[in-house]
Amino acid sequence: MNARIVQLDVLRYDPETDSEPHFQRYAVPCAEEWVVLDALNAIKESIDPTLNYRWSCHMAVCGSCGMMINGEPKLSCHAFLRDYDGAIRVEPLANFPIERDLITVADDFIDKLKRVKPYLIPARNEPVPEGEYKQTPAQLMKYRQFSMCINCMLCYAACPEYALQPMFLGPAAIALAHRYNLDSRDGGRDERQEVIASNAGVWECSFVGACSEVCPKAVDPAAALQQVKVASTIDWFKERLLPGAAK
């Protein structure tokens, strides 16, 4: 292996002994093509087996290895060492409590995700013999990019409004609600609007746009939230100006 030594400053936190997190420096022999996750695996295997972090697929699909790398929310399996000079600072995802070392408590996001009902709620249940729910390619394209979300929470780590107002439903949850609202097979928009058109929903967003800049799957949550604002505004006027209009 053609190794070079990479310095990693990793934020450590042991809830049983530490009162607060602290950085620990590791000098790791790394191959040219490695990503930060490979370096963490090398630390765990041969330098310090007590280091804790989440990962699974190593190919930017599972969404579990999100971390702050030099202050930027990144999937550590997607952050190539060759793109960094000097010591690399590795911290748990911002805006989430630290469970242990690089592991964060994701309960808040999971709870918000559940609340927006991110699954198809068919307008009418068709009996099986009538076949599948059909969709044209144009109908698929309407929501396709928003369906690429892998729930990695990088957008929450980048969002200052979520940091300042933890009640905020946040980018990914609202973008996923929008994804199902745009789906021609779905009939659940009214139920989701009750959640996402609230003050703690889309209206807490001030369109910083950081979510879209950090998304590893090129989803554009900021766009989804703007579209939800426009649609919710049209709803608001319809509900008041057109008596008897659908809510």
Partner 1 sequence: MSRRPYVREVSKTRWYFRHPRYLRYMSREVTCVFIGAFALLLLCALGRLAQGQAAYESFLAALEGPWSAFGLLIVLIFAVHNTTSWFNVTPKAMPFQIGEEFLPGKYIVAAHYAVWIVFSVAAVFFAGVL
Partner 2 sequence: MAKSNKPIVWSLFAAGGTLAAFLAPALVLLFLLAALGHAPSLLHYSQLHAFAARWFGKLFLLTVIALFLWHAAHRLRVTLHDFGLRQDAAVAVVVYVVAAAGTLMSVLYLLRI
CB under 5 to 8 A by kind: which of partner 1, partner 2, none does 200 bind?
partner 2
3-state per-residue secondary structure call for 55-66: CCCCCCCCCCCE
Cβ burial of 202 (10 Å; 0-12, 13-18, 19+) is buried
Q: What is the DSSP string of 94-145?
A: TTS-EEETTEE--HHHHHHHHHT--S--BSS---GGG------HHHHHHHHG
CB of 111 to partner 2, least distance (A): 13
Among the listed residues 213, 217, 232, 235, the single contact to partner 1 using CB under 8 A: 213
Tokens representing 101? 């070392």
Site string for partner 2, 88-117 (x = CB under 8 A): ------------------------------
- Nearest of 89, 91, 102 to residue 14 by alpha carbon: 102
* Interface with partner 2, residue 193, by CB under 8 A: yes
Among the listed residues 170, 171, 201, 216, the single contact to partner 2 using CB under 8 A: 201
* Interface with partner 1, residue 229, by CB under 8 A: yes
* Interface with partner 1, residue 210, by CB under 8 A: yes
Residues 143-182 that bind partner 1 (CB under 8 A): 160, 163-164
For partner 2, the binding residues (CB under 8 A) are 160, 164, 193-195, 197-201, 203, 206, 229, 232-233, 235-237
